[in-house]
Amino acid sequence: MTSRTGYVWDALYGWADTGTGGLAPSSVADRLQPVAAHVAHPDTKRRLHELIATSGLLKRLTPIEAQLAQEEDILRVHDRAHYERILKESAWPKGGDAGDGGSPFGQGGHEIALLAAGGAIAATRAVVAGEVRNAYALVNPPGHHAERANGKGFCIFNNVAVAASYAREVLGVGRVAIVDWDVHHGNGAQDIFWSRSDVLNVSVHQDNCFPPASGPVDARGEGDGFGYTLNVPLPPGGGNAVYDYAFGEVVVPALRAFNPDLILIASGFDASIMDPLARMMVRSDGYERIAQHVLDAADELCDGRVVVVQEGGYSPYYVPFCGLKVLELMSGERTGIEDAYMPIVGGMGGDVLRDHEREAVDVAAALVADIS
């Protein structure tokens, strides 16, 4: 019997070479030391895959094979110049950079990036075809910072935007909603779909985290797209409570107003309480809660059609437990494995909604009225 949940992983995702820098390449001149494991080292994603495998959950999911995204798939959302520069630099002996100088990839890295975009496409195709009810594409490198003309923030091609455009233009899906719960702003989809009303882009992120100054609540799209970019910037320090409130008060009402035929989730686990690249406090049960919000909305609005595409998440310790909880929820299959860090992180806070968090969410909630 096939599971209701499809799953994409490819061993090459674990080979993405992010070099020996941290947020920037090492530099003797700047006295920026090389480090054994880059903050976006692919082992974090591989560890999530291996927890899924060793937990027994993998056998209860429907495997979906990633294929290389084709040139036309990339060019639906990226400039040709960006695409060709990645291919050119990928042939260099030590590889190249996605576009911002802090997103290195190794020789041949274009192939892994195309396989990540292709993994998002394969998961989308399977869900739209009804082969599975929902799917998790555990792809790497991530994509949500990649804009039309350049890569950024460890992202080469915008996997979730590639999947959204594939759904619209190849599969004939009417309306696609992107829900981005990565802790950093979903600037790539914002850039790509800024003037469009057929793709709703909701990003819930730490206010002014990355990219710098990106994703304020008053960045809302323009022309036909006005209102269909919805940013929900949250004050630093928030945890399960503010995320639950934001999804209940903004994300779900926005999805209801938009009434999508397909929901794509840009899933970063870097809002976690153990993440080094942001200052939020979400635990694995918080991720489970916000996933429940979206899955319930999908059941109500689009026959449960949800494709989750992996984005960031930089705690090699904690990302696996967050991901396992989301996949258990999607599949309805419980492994019995508990979050091993809960005895430590469970009492650290984030469970009570504070006034300034409520106020930030309420500002965004008022903008849902412009979606139809």
Specify the residue for token string 């309420």.
Answer: 362
> From the list 17, 97, 180, 182, which residue makes contact with Zn ion (rule: CB under 5 A)?
182
Least distance (Å) from Zn ion to the CB of residue 272?
11
Residue 182 or 244 with smaller CB distance to Zn ion: 182
Is 312 one of the binding residues for Zn ion (CB under 5 A)?
A: yes
Least distance (Å) from Zn ion to the CB of residue 257?
26
Least distance (Å) from Zn ion to the CB of residue 1?
36
- Residue 267 in tokens: 């899933």
280 neighbors 292 (Cβ within 8 angstroms): no
Residue 95 or 312 with smaller CB distance to Zn ion: 312
Cα separations in angstroms, 27 against 93, 115, 207, 226, 343: 19, 31, 29, 43, 40
233's enclosing H/E stretch is strand 229-234
Q: Which of residues 214-273 bind Zn ion (CB under 5 A)?
A: 268, 270
Least distance (Å) from Zn ion to the CB of residue 311?
6
Is 275 one of the binding residues for Zn ion (CB under 5 A)?
A: no
Task: Write each residue from 140 to 179 as x if it is in contact with Zn ion (CB under 5 A), else as -, in one continuous string.
Answer: ----------------------------------------
Active site residue 145: yes
Residue 258 or 321 with smaller CB distance to Zn ion: 321
Is 188 one of the binding residues for Zn ion (CB under 5 A)?
A: no
The size of the interface with Zn ion (CB under 5 A), counted in residues, is 5
- Among the listed residues 110, 145, 184, 185, the single catalytic one is 145
Is 184 one of the binding residues for Zn ion (CB under 5 A)?
A: yes
Task: Give the residue at shortest CB distance from Zn ion.
Answer: 312
- Residue 114 in tokens: 């195309």
Residue 125 or 144 with smaller CB distance to Zn ion: 144
312 neighbors 269 (Cβ within 8 angstroms): yes
> Where on the phi/psi map is residue 275: left (φ > 0), alpha (ψ -120 to 50), or beta?
beta
Q: Kindly report the number of other CB atoms within 10 A of residue 348's CB atom.
A: 11
Cα separations in angstroms, 263 against 171, 174, 344: 14, 11, 34
Cα separations in angstroms, 306 against 5, 125, 286, 298: 10, 11, 19, 7
123 neighbors 64 (Cβ within 8 angstroms): yes
Q: What's the chain's length in residues?
A: 372
Residue 56 or 236 with smaller CB distance to Zn ion: 236
Residue 6 or 238 with smaller CB distance to Zn ion: 238
320's enclosing H/E stretch is helix 319-331
Least distance (Å) from Zn ion to the CB of residue 234?
13
CA distance 14 to 64: 17
- Residue 288 in tokens: 């489970």
Least distance (Å) from Zn ion to the CB of residue 231?
15
Just list the catalytic residues: 145
Residues at the site binding Zn ion, with contacts judged by CB under 5 A: 182, 184, 268, 270, 312
